[in-house]
Structure 1
């Protein structure tokens, strides 16, 4: 045994400081819920975790974009449904005008048709989703080749859905011969066949536009489901890398706590060794 340096006590103290540091790490992990709280904890896994977090947040924002897109498609579908009903009423009135009707009756029918046509234009011009209008555009000349709106549905540069923008005002709702319902006039019974042809063409055009938007909505909903699955998998992976295993850390905290208490008790005993040596020396006199 050495008198100048109590090596046993110093060794116990060194182990005590080490256990105390380990206990502090465990306590920090338990209190924060994460086992990587700074770069020094695990530099390699920190980089992987941050990359996963970036992907997760990008996918979550893409999901929100898709939800907005679905809401926009639902809004457009509601508008098109209203226009379809209005066109159906216009056709009923047009067929009625071909029956036994007087000139006064034809004027009444024409007046109602004019009101319905104005209703279509008003509905189209005032239908939008957050300022985005899909059913009217001054830049669309031919509805067979519409302008497109790029809608982001993923986290990479090429994950877009092209949403067509149509113009279905009464001037653009025509049949194959170009007869527009904007020029619909039932006061002249000689125009009955042309009127019915233009209405059928308008209904077919609106139905076609509605089906295209319905297909886009289905695609968006499928993409949303795929993104949800991918995001969940990434969250699970990131959790395994970064989140604390509470059971393991509680066991580690308890272990280091016991060792620290034991070290304190041993240091108290080892610090008495020099005094015991002095007593031995006293007895040697």
Structure 2
């Protein structure tokens, strides 16, 4: 005689269902993500991937903006050195205008001026950023600081050898050299000051972009986290509930088997 234990089959089905839920729950707890594959939530997975792409773009834009600030700082540091040399040349030129100086005195002053002129030229020739010269030609360095087309900022530098050419020709030993040199130096110092002002404004603009990008990226990451990250309190509670349910179902299954054996024993 055969006894069909429908209850036993149902219990087995429920245990399989519970185990699948437990496996899924354990995966969420282990990975820290409630969406680990498209099968978990296809729509959510697509949104998560899009938000991840946006976040990556914002992070790269922030790095680009910091590169722009670094380049600006290198350029500004070089201009500060050039400005200091130009200011010293102006001081020496003013000194050379004293009527009590001899030709030898002016020649000594000119020797120091020549050394400063060479310093300026060396700074122009040797100032580079990532192997690219900053002041040997008019240049525009563009940095993408947004996730879309057209969202860029630029650092502009000029050909200082050309801009400051008159400074290199200053000679206080010749007649009338002092007067023309003072005007040349005033113009040069003004040019350098304008370029430093532009670089300062550019650095501030990059920093503003970084602040805005950081805020936007934090919001994007928070949105992604809400979709993706495991709620550990909920997942832990679900695991405990499934453990209890699994134990209860197993106990029912054991009791059913014992009842079946008792019936068979009575019938035998």
Q: TM-score w.r.t. structure 2 length? A: 0.95
Q: Choose from 239, 256, 262 the match for 2:242.
A: 256
Task: Tell me the CA shift for residue 276 of structure 1.
Answer: 2.6
Which position in structure 2 is the counterpart of 1:111?
Answer: 111
Mapped to 2, the partners of 1:250 and 1:47 lie a distance apart of 26
C-alpha separation in 2, matches of 1:278 and 1:106:
126
Matched position secondary structure for 2:196: helix
Match of 2:135 in 1: 135
Equivalent residue, structure 1, for 2:120: 120
Distance in 2, Cα, partners of 1:132 & 1:5:
84
CA contact (8 A) 2:68 2:155 kept: no
Q: Give the structure 1 partner of residue 163 of structure 2.
A: 172
Give 3-state SS (helix, strand or coil) of 1:117's partner. helix
Please, which of 245, 256, 266 is the counterpart of residue 252 of structure 2?
A: 266
Q: Secondary structure at the match of 1:223?
A: helix
Tell me, in whole angstroms, the C-alpha distance in 2 between the residues paired with 1:194 and 1:39.
76
Equivalent residue number for residue 183 of structure 1:
169
- Displacement of 1:5 in angstroms is 1.5
Q: Shift of the alpha carbon at 1:10? A: 1.1
SS at match of 1:148: strand
Q: Which of structure 1's runs of 4+ aligned residues deviate more than 4 A?
A: none
Unaligned runs of 5+ in 2: none
Contact 1:63 1:228 in 2 (8 A): yes
1:242-279 per-residue CA deviation (whole Å, 9 max, x = no partner) reads 11000100011111111111111111110122333234
The equivalent residue for 2:198 is 212
| 1:53-111 alpha-carbon deviations (Å, 9 max, x no partner) | 00111111111111111111111111111111100100001001110210001111111
Give the structure 2 partner of residue 151 of structure 1: 143
**Aligned residue number for residue 16 of structure 1:** 15
In structure 1, C-alpha distance between the alignment counterparts of 2:195 and 2:184, rounded to whole Å: 16
SS at match of 1:222: helix
- Asked if structure 2 preserves the Cα contact closer than 8 Å seen for 1:136 and 1:165, the reply is no
Cα drift, residue 136 of structure 1: 2.0
Native 8 Å contact 2:72 2:155 kept in 1: no
Q: Which residue of 2 aligns with 1:177?
A: none
Asked if the contact 1:66/1:224 (under 8 Å) is kept, the reply is yes
Instruction: Indicate the structure with greater helix content.
Output: 2
- How far apart in 1 are the matches of 2:74 and 2:203? 11
> Residue 221 of structure 1: CA displacement?
0.5
CA distance in 2: counterparts of 1:136 and 1:211, whole angstroms: 20
- TM-score normalised to the size of structure 1? 0.90
Give the number of aligned pairs: 267
Q: Could you tell me how far apart the structure 2 residues matched to 1:204 and 1:38 are?
A: 62
Aligned counterpart, 1:84: 83
Unaligned runs of 5+ in 1: 141-146, 175-179
Once the two structures are superposed, residues 176-225 of structure 1 have per-residue CA deviations (whole angstroms, 9 ceiling, x without a partner) of xxxx1121110024222211110101100111111011100000001001
- Check the 8 A contact 1:97/1:189 in 2, yes or no: no
